[in-house]
Amino acid sequence: MTGTWVLLGALAATVVVALLLRRRDGRFAATPAPAPDTAADERERVDAADLDVPLGERATLVQFSSSFCSPCRATRVLLSDVVRSVPGVVHVEVDAESHLDLVRRHRVLRTPTVLVLGPDGEVVQRASGVPRREQVLTALALAVPED
């Protein structure tokens, strides 16, 4: 009988953790503001040299993916569609397995992870999991100053 209770407890804990992860999946969060005494070169940023492509005029969506990640395909399609509809925004997909230095530097724990970069390459928003279209558009609106 004890085994049954242990099994039920483990099942309940798994359901709670799964629901919490699902709730957070794909939500963008602002990158914490740097301390006032933080130098500009110490802020979290990604350079064009890191990506081997030029950054977008207004913003860049950097997607960390892996070859075995099926949600990465859905994220790629979504971000490509958003880029077509928002001028000055570029989408760059980074293979996490081939760019471990970037993965470590930007604390990527799972794929897909999307970083929203400002025009200067500073990371202003980030999300793990597959975001929804309206979440991406909201993150871009918050990250990119209007002209």
Residues 73/124, Cβ–Cβ less than 8 Å:
no
Per-residue pLDDT of 74-115, as tens digits, reads: 999 999 999 999 999 999 999 999 999 999 998 998 899 999
Residue 48 predicted with pLDDT over 70? yes
Count of structural domains, the chain: 1
Query: 22 or 6, which is more confident?
Result: 6
Q: What are the residues facing 61 on neighbouring strands?
A: 91, 116
pLDDT single digits (tens) 21-35: 666 666 766 665 554
Which residues form the domain of 92? Answer: 2-143
Per-residue pLDDT at 65 exceeds 60? yes
pLDDT of amino acid 85: 92
Task: For residues 71 and 84, give the distance between their C-alpha atoms in angstroms, rounded to a whole number.
Answer: 20
* Token pair recorded at residue 96: 């996490």
For residue 64, with 0-12 CB atoms within 10 Å meaning exposed, 13-18 middle and 19 or more buried, which class applies? Answer: buried
Mean pLDDT of the chain: 84
Residue 44: what pLDDT? 81
Domain of residue 67, CATH code:
3.40.30.10
